[in-house]
Amino acid sequence: MSRMALPIVTRGVCPHDCPDTCSFDTTVVDGVATRLTPVADHPVTRGFLCTKVNRYLERTYAADRVATPLKRVGPKGTGEFRTATWNEALADISLRLKSIVDSHGAQSILPYSYAGTMGLIQRESMSARFFHRLGASLLDRTICASAGTTAWMHTYGSCDGPGAEEIGENELIILWGTNTLTSNPHLWPAIRKARDSGATLVCIDPLRTRTARAADIHIALRPGSDAALALGVMHVLFRDDHADAGFLNERAHGWEELRDHVLTQWSVERAADLCDLPPQEIHMLAKRYGSTQRSFIRFNYGMQRHLGGGSAVRAGALLPAVTGAWRHPGSGATLSTSSAYLFDKEALQRPDWIPVGTRRINMNQLDEALTKPDAGVGGPGVHGLVVYNSNPATVAPNSVAVRSGLAREDLFTVVIEQFMTDTAHYADWVLPATTQLEHHDLHAAYGHHFASLNTPAIAPVGESLPNSEIFRRLARAMDFDDPEFGQSDVELIELALAGADGHLSWEVLSKVGYERVQPAGQRHYTTGRLATPSGKIECVADTLTDYGLPALPDFIEPLTWQQTTPGSTELTLLTPPQHEFLNSSFANIPRLSKAAGEQTLLMNPVDAQTRELNDGDAVLIANDRGSFPARLIVTPDARPGTVAAFGLRWAGDGSTGVNAVTGSGLTDLGRGATFYDTAVTVGHR
């Protein structure tokens, strides 16, 4: 009879791209992870994980985990592979990469990665060193947040604000462009606390999401009109004496110009017309916001996935400066807390190794980079593609074109993955990557102020390896002999921590698993010189004129409005996250894909009637880029003129998913993606 080993508990952190960055404990018995337990006394995790990560053990031990290197044996995209050894894989990949460098130059190799893991080590450390040493093209990682964060930086000089657990004392909370209960669920306990003390919850979203339903007030504006709403509200704040002149005088640059701008240009009626809202609604919002000192706005990324997304965030970001809400701890606004983390990313990534003049390719334009070599993106065509931490065949805009690029027989593609994603199907080589239970990592967060350490709980599944180790081995195979490729993951973590200014310690992190990077109850942007040209909050930001934008916040018409001809039958399509998935991650986990059900499309009864469509109909959503099928749900949750399809499913059904119709147009600031600025027609399938 064998003796049962004692369970071992290891503390880790959720690696996914989510503002909550939850801490959990993994129980391991006989080398097998048996339980994932949320940390109960973590101030943000508070003893619960989300629907998705509650299934993380199923994900880790899934039958479809990639467990060995795989070499393609069939046509691209068909998923025919044979297993191979690491030695064979590394030898062949290094040979192919060297031959591409010889015939086309190193810049014809493109890394493509995003946030499959948010860890500093497994996201970009050895990988960045590898590509910088190789001299590969640089990738602008703009698919998610760059419009909003660029706008925030030009306004405040850094990205910070109250963390998820700090907002419970506010009397008014506004959730702006975010489906909190799905994409930021650990903000909810503090929202509940505030509401228990009488706070009002407002949700600003064109869709009646589960979050909008749970709010006291839902403002269902027209997609892409947020800047107009913020400027209309500001008009009332200045007109009716709700502005905090003391705060503005002390902390803001150009506020009198802003005041004159909104008073003369942004009547409530003009804003209401653009937002397609009753003027009273804007009035009501402004009155509430203006008469509440302790207010908090949670901006999130949904509102900035439109052409004018940067300008929208910028206009909204100035609201707490006008009322002086920043004066109160836990009040003001948060888009991201990312500037609070001072890890030494340069030591990890070695940008000093980048050859001078290396071209940059915007990840949102992968379609052009792969299908129009020598055009669009400038410089040599892309002949080698190394994908890790991302699933571009599903997540990138204009996916029909992206997939036709991935299918090019003359493109050498390596995909480092945990699963056979849609992207992996197009690879020449698939390399097996570890999950968070199997590797070391260090995490910042973007919705709170706790850094976290992830300690591996189990040995790697199959022959999988951490990204860092894969790039170490690739470097060796490429004959890169720099000592920097010899550093271990723990050494990399120490290097990153050394840059954190003594705020964090290995001792605390390894004992507790997480540690605050700044004291709780911080009042943001109220003291000291800010990192803007004026040193103050920039109501006037002259730096924006470099982007062809006005220095004062303004409204920019969405692509869909510019392109839609009056009287046309086009609708604006929103494709926000599905509750049960994380972007395209978890879509292959049977219990979660079953819970999510088939792809649906939400449509207002008015739009359904004019198209003679009924609830339950099989419909096709289309434009000149592509199409995807869905089951119609006729519901007032979608406002007239706007339809919604939650994403992002894999192409198991042969379709290319919602991104078949999205375009690769870029936002006004940050060259971000414009996923939600998409015009489509909908008809019977």
**Residues in contact with ligand SF4 by the rule CB under 6 A:** 14, 16, 18, 20-22, 49-50, 52-53, 185-186, 582
416 binds ligand MGD (CB under 6 A): yes
Query: Which amino acid appears at position 549 of this protein?
Result: L
644 binds Mo ion (CB under 5 A): no
137 binds ligand MGD (CB under 6 A): no
Binding mask 311-350 for ligand MGD (x = CB under 6 A): ----------------------------------------
Rounded CA separation 652/4 (Å): 41
- Judged by beta carbon distances under 5 to 8 A according to partner kind, the member of ligand MGD, ligand SF4, Mo ion, none in contact with residue 49 is ligand SF4
User: Cβ closer to ligand SF4: 53 or 190?
Assistant: 53
112 binds ligand MGD (CB under 6 A): no
Residue 210 CB, nearest approach to ligand SF4 (Å): 15
Dihedral-angle region of residue 13 (phi above 0 means left; psi in -120 to 50 means alpha; beta otherwise) = beta
User: Cβ closer to Mo ion: 97 or 139?
Assistant: 139
Rounded CA separation 76/97 (Å): 19
Of residues 223, 232, 254, 513, which one binds ligand MGD by CB under 6 A? Answer: 223
- Judged by beta carbon distances under 5 to 8 A according to partner kind, the member of ligand MGD, ligand SF4, Mo ion, none in contact with residue 417 is ligand MGD
Q: Would you say 310 and 148 are in contact if contact means Cβ atoms under 8 Å apart? A: yes
Residue 463 CB, nearest approach to ligand MGD (Å): 14
Residue 209 CB, nearest approach to ligand SF4 (Å): 16
Of residues 117, 267, 398, 593, which one binds ligand MGD by CB under 6 A? Answer: 117
Tokens of 3: 């003796």
143 binds ligand MGD (CB under 6 A): yes
Sheet harboring 70-72: ordered strands across?
81-83, 70-72, 429-432, 412-417, 384-388, 109-113
- Judged by beta carbon distances under 5 to 8 A according to partner kind, the member of ligand MGD, Mo ion, ligand SF4, none in contact with residue 395 is ligand MGD
Tokens of 315: 């206009």
Of residues 310, 320, 576, 670, which one binds ligand MGD by CB under 6 A? Answer: 576
Of residues 419-478, those binding ligand MGD (CB under 6 A): 419, 421, 433, 467
- Judged by beta carbon distances under 5 to 8 A according to partner kind, the member of ligand MGD, ligand SF4, Mo ion, none in contact with residue 53 is ligand SF4
Q: What does residue 127 show for φ and ψ, rounded to 5 degrees?
A: -60, -50
144 binds Mo ion (CB under 5 A): yes
Tokens of 586: 């978890």
Residues 6+ apart with CB under 8 A from 527: none
18 binds Mo ion (CB under 5 A): no
Residue 120 CB, nearest approach to ligand MGD (Å): 12
- Listed in sequence order, the DSSP H helices in 64-106 are 86-104
Beta bridge partners of 299: 176
User: Cβ closer to ligand SF4: 436 or 674?
Assistant: 436
CB atoms near residue 74 (< 10 Å): 11
- Judged by beta carbon distances under 5 to 8 A according to partner kind, the member of ligand SF4, ligand MGD, Mo ion, none in contact with residue 14 is ligand SF4
Stretch that binds Mo ion, among 136-144, 211-219, 350-358, 572-580 (CB under 5 A): 136-144
DSSP at 17: S
Pairing of strands 23-29, 32-38: antiparallel
Binding mask 584-603 for ligand MGD (x = CB under 6 A): xx------------------
User: Cβ closer to ligand SF4: 185 or 663?
Assistant: 185
Q: Would you say 562 and 556 are in contact if contact means Cβ atoms under 8 Å apart? A: no
Q: Which residues of 624-649 are buried (b: 16+ CB within 10 A; e: fewer)?
A: ebbbbbbebbbbebbbebbbbbbbbb
By CB under 6 A, how many residues form the interface with ligand MGD?
58
- Strands, E, within 546-634: which ranges? 571-574, 600-603, 618-623, 626-634
Q: Which helix (H) or strand (E) holds 643?
A: strand 642-644
Rounded CA separation 423/659 (Å): 14
Helix, strand, or coil (residue 458):
coil
User: Cβ closer to ligand SF4: 18 or 227?
Assistant: 18
Tokens of 71: 């070499």
Residue 94 CB, nearest approach to ligand MGD (Å): 18
Beta bridge partners of 419: 65
Residue 230 CB, nearest approach to ligand SF4 (Å): 28
Q: Would you say 420 and 79 are in contact if contact means Cβ atoms under 8 Å apart? A: yes
- Listed in sequence order, the DSSP H helices in 105-207 are 120-123, 126-134, 146-156, 180-183, 188-196
411 binds Mo ion (CB under 5 A): no
End-to-end CA distance of the chain: 61
User: Cβ closer to ligand SF4: 9 or 95?
Assistant: 9
Query: Which amino acid appears at position 661 of this protein?
Result: V
Residues of this chain that interact with Mo ion (CB under 5 A) are 144
Residues of this chain that interact with ligand MGD (CB under 6 A) are 17-18, 52, 114-117, 122, 143-144, 176-179, 182-183, 204-207, 209, 223-224, 226, 300-303, 306, 388-391, 395, 416-419, 421, 433, 467, 574-577, 579, 581-585, 647-648, 658-659, 662, 675-676
